[in-house]
Structure 1
Amino acid sequence: MHVFVAGATGAVGSLLVPMLLEAGHTVTGTSRSPAGVERIERLGATGLRVDALDAERLRGAVRAAAPEAVVHQLTDLSGADAAANSRIRREGTRNLVDAAKAAGVGRVVAQSISWAYGPGDDPADEAVPLDSTAAQPRARMVAAVRALEETVAEVETAVVLRYGLLYGPGTWYAPGGAFAAALAGDRSTPFLGSTAANDAVGSFVHVADAAGAALAALDWPGGPVNVVDDEPSPARVWLPVLAEALGVPAPAPEAGRQDWERGALNGLARSRGWRPAWPTWRNGFAALRLPS
């Protein structure tokens, strides 16, 4: 299969491209920079310099590639700018889907998130609706996620991967990353997440497992799928473990959580054959541990 990967040099995309090639697929990948294009081509794929916000150029790139599937791994998180990332979710997704439809592509696999669900006490499965009660600024984020998911649903077969918090190489939750800097008190490193060791339940997924799900999803039926590990956990439990692995101090535990901070379940992904190499953040975080 010829697969067009939009966002091929991001944390997930950079791992996905070699997985696709290893599986025998032909890959065309995009980056916004010449250096990114070179990285894609060194992996053995075709690299294209394309900005997803340039609708005309993106349409031409997809038409010229003539892929059988499009994988959407577009984000704009390097500067921890929530507005920029929401714009990619809205406008970048719109442009990519329009380009796919114009090129006759019938399958799209798209990156979404698993913490946009409505309030509840238990981890959410895919039957739980997206949050319609959130106040700002969360409401803007959820609206952008909803726009992304509704837009990709226009394609005949659209698989929406609702990723957990990504950790591992190239993510904020990596040694030397934004989370470690925030815990160490470095306010110069952009970071949008929380560092509170409270009762907020989160679901993680190792970035390699996230890429593996995108590969597998080329054969899945359409619809949303949570791509998270097996152990949704409160921050007061996972945060000290991650802090130790990253070699930074952990904050004192505290009580409290937002009603939407509930985590997510991966039963649907597992029913389709996805098996995370890191089934819990406990062994995944241990693998991040810096040498002493």
Structure 2
Amino acid sequence: MDVVVAGASGALGTVLVPQLVAAGHAVTGLSRSPSGLARIRAAGARAVRADLLDEPGLLRALADVRADAVVHQATALERTPTRHRHLHATNALRDRGTAHLLRCAAQIGARRFVTQSFFLGYGYRDHGSAPVTEDRPFGELTGDAFDVHLRSMRANEDQVLGATGVEGIALRYGLFYGSDRSTAALLDLARRRRLPAPAPAGVTSPVHLEDAAAATVAALERGRPGQAYNVVDDHPVGFDEFVDALAAAVGAPPPRRVPAWVLRPLPYLHALMARTRIRVSNAKAREELDWAPRHPSCHEGLAEVAAARA
């Protein structure tokens, strides 16, 4: 397929573009920065400078492009967000950016559209011990400061899954880690014993970037139109266990525990690390996409990431 990838120089896009090229797809990658464009070209793809929030400019940039599919992987996140405002730019990309890309899909003749969604669209709360599957409510508003994020995640999916003229698919990725700057920063903090673990801790569902990219290729090729898929590894972990795995990966002692309430001045981080308990199931993606994570848990995955950086 000829595929346009928005966010092609981001954390996931940087891993996804080489996998798409290796699978035989012709890729046009979008980025706003010269360094991002250089990374796209180095991966064997065509690079186009474009801003998803500038609709007229985006349409002009792709005026001579024809493609079979669009993959939306654009975010504005470079590190783990700690406050609500750190997500505002990404919310705009999920809302207005998605609308602009759908109009581009019509212009370039694309019939398939895969969008990046996020597992926390199920809600920043305790989901209990049962696996969270795709039939759970998604993007339900709760009447608090998290509604702005839930609304943008729901808007992204609603636009794509409900679009006419394209086969829309949403991938609800877990907590990313891998060869990105955010993971590198966490590993360095763990090495210096400056990354404590909250007690009590929440439960999260991670996914290695390589596995997330492989699931994206599979969804592009085999995903059912109108469907959402959870893309996570096989083993949800407590956030304290995740921090322990970071330390173990770099040979550091187990991190110290701190009361979860000390994170409350950083409300988004507190919700991510302490308040939310979510065990996401990847069974549907395994069955329908013929995909399985190469890294069953963050323990193996983080050890591999640390070894590659050594």
- 2:247 is equivalent to residue 269 of structure 1: no
Aligned-pair CA distance for 1:279 = 1.4
- 2:178 is equivalent to residue 168 of structure 1: yes
Q: What is the DSSP-based 3-state SS (H/G/I as helix, E as strand, rest coil) of the residue aligned with 1:64?
A: coil
Which residue matches 2:151?
A: 143
Distance 2:155 2:197 in 1: 28
Give the share of equivalent positions with the same residue, in percent.
36
Distance 1:78 1:185 in 2: 22
Distance 1:267 1:27 in 2: 29
- Conserved? CA contact 1:74–1:88, under 8 Å: yes
Q: What is the DSSP-based 3-state SS (H/G/I as helix, E as strand, rest coil) of the residue aligned with 1:14?
A: helix
Aligned-pair CA distance for 1:289 = 3.1
Which residue matches 1:228?
A: 232
Distance 1:195 1:116, change over 3 A: farther
Task: Show structure 2 runs of 5+ residues with no match.
Answer: 262-273
Alignment of 1:215-254 (within 5 A): 215-219=217-221, 220-222=223-225, 223-246=227-250, 250-252=255-257
Aligned-pair CA distance for 1:39 = 1.7
- Conserved? CA contact 1:236–1:253, under 8 Å: no
Distance 2:216 2:181 in 1: 17
Distance 2:220 2:239 in 1: 33
- Conserved? CA contact 1:244–1:250, under 8 Å: no
Task: Show structure 1 runs of 5+ residues with no match.
Answer: 188-193
- Cα shift readout 1:144-196 (whole Å, capped 9, x = no counterpart): 10111111121531111110001010152x23x25754996879xxxxxx952
Please, which moves more after superposition, 157-166 or 134-143? 134-143
Distance 1:22 1:5 in 2: 15
Which residue matches 1:279?
A: 296
1:132 pairs with one of 121, 133, 140: 140
Q: Scaled by the length of structure 1, what TM-score is found? A: 0.87
1:212 pairs with one of 210, 214, 225: 214
- Conserved? CA contact 1:114–1:263, under 8 Å: no
- Cα shift readout 1:229-285 (whole Å, capped 9, x = no counterpart): 000122233321223324666231768953x52131100010021111101112112
- Cα shift readout 1:172-230 (whole Å, capped 9, x = no counterpart): 2x23x25754996879xxxxxx9525341100100011111111111211211000000
Deviating 4+ runs (over 6 angstroms): none
Aligned-pair CA distance for 1:73 = 0.6
- 2:50 is equivalent to residue 34 of structure 1: no
Distance 1:246 1:101 in 2: 47
Which residue matches 2:102?
A: 97
Distance 2:250 2:152 in 1: 32
Please, which moves more after superposition, 277-286 or 236-245? 236-245
Please, which moves more after superposition, 197-206 or 3-12? 197-206
Distance 1:178 1:282, change over 3 A: closer
Distance 1:49 1:41 in 2: 12
Q: What is the DSSP-based 3-state SS (H/G/I as helix, E as strand, rest coil) of the residue aligned with 1:67?
A: coil
Distance 2:218 2:181 in 1: 21
Which residue matches 1:77?
A: 77
Q: What is the DSSP-based 3-state SS (H/G/I as helix, E as strand, rest coil) of the residue aligned with 2:71?
A: strand
Q: What is the DSSP-based 3-state SS (H/G/I as helix, E as strand, rest coil) of the residue aligned with 1:196?
A: strand
Please tell me the residue identity of whatever aligns with 2:146: R
Q: What is the DSSP-based 3-state SS (H/G/I as helix, E as strand, rest coil) of the residue aligned with 2:136?
A: coil
Distance 1:85 1:241 in 2: 28
Aligned-pair CA distance for 1:12 = 1.0
- Cα shift readout 1:52-101 (whole Å, capped 9, x = no counterpart): 11101212334421110001110001264211111111111111112112
Which residue matches 1:190?
A: none
Aligned-pair CA distance for 1:29 = 0.4
Alignment of 1:182-201 (within 5 A): 196-201=198-203
